[in-house]
Amino acid sequence: MRATARCARSSRGRAGVTLVGRVPHDEVARLLAESHVLCQPSLIEPLGQALLEAMACGRSVVATRIGGPPEFVPPEAGVLVDPLDIEGIAAAMREAAALPRPNDVARAAAGEHDVKRQAERIEAILRRAAVGISD
């Protein structure tokens, strides 16, 4: 898909789009700070940690409808796409770029999925289950 996206970008004048692929961990914060939108149209996306990190930084996202993103990307925070629809991804990037920056809705949505908050929720569920078993 990267080759197709490069071709689409160059042949149709998609200025402002940078394909970075894998980057060293120490470059992530800089790239997010420079970004308006994080686009991650993965074919397989069990959770979407990179999307949550971008949203926590107040960035809008373009994400796949597969896996976790539909559970945590509200329309005000980003756009969900079919990962094989190149034109749909391009349209979603334009739509996401039109969202506010910083995107406070994205930041709030990511906060609901903070790892500490999730651990507290799991702990509470297990505590209730343990009380129910001992009765």
Q: Where does 24-114 have alpha helices with state H?
A: 28-34, 49-56, 69-72, 86-97, 104-111
Q: Residues 64, 70: contact at Cβ < 8 Å? A: no
Inform me whether the pLDDT recorded for 33 exceeds 50.
Answer: yes
Output 131 or 11, whichever has higher pLDDT.
Answer: 131
Domains in the chain: ranges and CATH: 2-134 (3.40.50.2000)
Amino acid at 113: H
pLDDT value at residue 10:
47
Q: Residues 37, 61: contact at Cβ < 8 Å? A: yes
44-84 pLDDT per residue, tens: 878 888 899 999 999 999 999 998 999 999 999 999 999 99
Band (pLDDT 50/70/90 cuts) for residue 111 is: very high
Band (pLDDT 50/70/90 cuts) for residue 29 is: confident
Write phi, then psi, for 37 (nearest 5 degrees). -140, 140
